Amino acid sequence: MDSLITAAGRALAAGDPLGALKRVALREDAPALALRGLAMAQLGDLVRAKVLLRRAARAFGPKETMARARCVVAEAEIALVSRDLGWPAKALDAARVTLEEHGDRVNAAFARCLEVRRLVLIGRLDEAERTLADIDPAPFPPASRAAHELVVAGIALRRLQTKAARAALARADQAARRARIPALTAEVENASRVLDAPAARRIRSGEERVLRLEDVEALLASKAFVVDAWRHVVRDAGQAVSLARRPVLFALARALAEGWPGDVPRDARRPRIRIAVRG
């Protein structure tokens, strides 16, 4: 590998994408295209980054399977950041297998972390947790460590485990600052804001209060009887019953809960059903 490619790689690792581009901006060989793609991703131009990484993957020779696999992993990360869930997951799995076979354990583990991230985004939390348990983030460089902690935080948030989410986001913030990648730091900051943003509205005895996720977690852990208008579930400390397929019954439960401890007029308890008729 020539000196300019080496210098560009070091600049990227140090969080200096402009410094990397200065060294390879005019080059069209495969390693330069890959580095340019990574630099554009760090700068936030994800569309251009994806184009460059695809060109790089095509430009690498048939014997450079590791380089092509790394391009696939980088493109998968861009797709997830862009919330492009239509990106082929099998391509990422194949790239991970290639990296493992060639001894690149760090990038293989990062590819596995991306697979977990995708599972979280599509709501398969149990599978995501099982896969995440097999990943050791200790050897990860700072950027990969930050991405790993973001996945941990994402699962904790969806489980309403706010203490665990805050701890993971704090670790992600430290790793992102060590990586010195502005886009990554911004992603961690955006995720952290979720914890302090309004997450729900509680109505009790006719009074309304805005709740954060921590408040929602505490409410659901209490002995209160809760009618959850978001998930269409009624729950207490012992059990939860879904009424998602019983809209009339749920409307009745909600009307009674909002009127508690007072009575609810009969008209208010009568569900309003709108019927569409096709001629």
pLDDT one-digit tens code per residue, 65-79: 999 999 999 999 999
Question: What pTM, to 2 d.p., does this model score?
Answer: 0.76
Cβ atoms of residues 107 and 70 within 8 Å: yes
Number of domains the chain is built from? 2
Sole residue written with tokens 């007029």: 265
Whether residue 276 is contained in a domain is answered as no
Distance separating alpha carbons of residues 47 and 266, to the nearest angstrom: 57
Distance of CA 158 to the CA centre of its chain: 10
Q: Are 208 and 191 in the same domain? A: no
Per-residue pLDDT of the chain (279 residues; tens, 9 = 90+): 588 999 998 988 888 899 999 999 989 999 999 999 999 998 889 999 999 999 999 999 888 999 999 999 999 999 988 888 888 889 999 999 999 999 998 899 999 999 999 999 888 999 999 999 988 888 888 988 998 999 999 999 999 899 999 999 999 999 999 988 887 888 899 999 999 898 888 888 777 888 899 988 888 888 888 888 878 888 887 788 888 888 888 888 887 777 676 666 665 545 444 334 333
Domain-ending residue, one of 176, 196, 216: 196
- First vs last C-alpha separation in the chain: 71
Task: Give the whole-angstrom CA distance, residue 135 versus residue 106.
Answer: 10
- Which pair of tokens denotes residue 132? 């995440």
Q: Domain check: are 236 and 117 in the same one?
A: no
On whether the CB atoms of residues 33 and 57 are closer than 8 A, the answer is: no
Residues 230 and 113 in one domain: no
Do residues 162 and 26 share a domain? yes
Q: How far apart are CA 92 and CA 76, in angstroms?
A: 7
Q: Which domain holds residue 132?
A: 3-196
> Where among 137, 165, 196 does a domain terminate?
196
Same domain flag for 37 and 150: yes
Q: What angle do CA 147, 150, 179 make, to 5 degrees?
A: 40
Nearest to 39 by CA among 16, 17, 64: 17
Q: Helices (DSSP H) in 14-159: which residue ranges? A: 17-24, 30-43, 46-59, 65-81, 89-101, 105-121, 125-132, 142-158
Examine the domain organization and report whether 186 and 262 are in the same domain. no
